[in-house]
Amino acid sequence: MMQAESMDICMYQNINNMTTINEQQKIVLVTGGSRGIGRSIALNAAKRGLGVILTYNNQAQSAQEVINEIITSGGKAVSLQLDTGNIPSFVEFVKQVALTLRRDWNRENFDYLINNAGIGQRSLIQDTTEEIFDELVNINLKGVFFLTKNLIPLIVDGGQIINISSGLARFAFPGSAVYGALKAALEGLTRYFAKEYAIRKIRVNSVAPGAIDTEFGGGKGNEEHRNQIASATALGRLGVADDIGLFVASMLSDDSRFVNAQRIEIGGGIMI
């Protein structure tokens, strides 16, 4: 009996220890985490021991594949549907995040927000309609502003927000005028968030990918165009999603604790 009781006590202690570890696990919320850069951020954050909440718009199957990969590797992840251009839906989304935190992590808050979801542009100024313009604004800037504003109460003091910007905020390519301008605005907004939420020690930075070889924005383009862009990059190649995902995941720790209100371009030295 004494041996059985001792085993029961050990099992109880192990369960308690597991619960404590689970409660202390840091959590990142990645918007647009079903593919491309967002997928890489989610996977690499999970490899570093973070719990992951990722959002998808209409790529439910792709999101589930990311979740399955994280779980198979021993991590913990949940996906939630979110249209980042539908601002009125954010109130209900925040409730879903709060419910997920309580149910899956026994927590009331999370640590890191990655505003990654967005859409690209492939239209010259003369071909850009008001409808295209408004959609770009709603998803790439207005949505980021109001989603962050709504989620701030759930972010821990001392947490971090990373906004995914673009090299196109610094240099210009035809066909990306509105997108590039909005990413420049997002970088300005990053500094204002950092200023106003400094009282809670929440850091806010922007990461600006250069030319990344993904399907974002309507496809990878033809080989000649890809080679031209690669030749404009000091490292002589296009980036891949993991070039961004690895770096962003590396920022999700106290290693970057004094980095705040910064724009960090990850582009292999493009257009220098």
**Active-site residue, selected from the candidate residues 12, 179, 192, 197:** 179
**Start-to-end CA span in the chain (Å):** 74
Q: Which residues contact 173 (CB under 8 A, 6 or more apart)?
A: 180
b/e for 80-118, b at 16 or more Cβ within 10 A?
bebbbbeeeebeebbebbbebbeeebebebbbbbbbbbb
Q: Which of 38, 27, 25, 35 is nearest to 163 (CA)?
A: 38
Residues 153 and 251: their CA atoms lie apart, in Å, by 21
Question: CA of 56: how far to CAs of 39, 64, 103, in Å?
Answer: 10, 10, 20
Residues 108 and 118: their CA atoms lie apart, in Å, by 27
Q: Catalytic: 179? A: yes
Which sequence positions are flagged as catalytic? 179
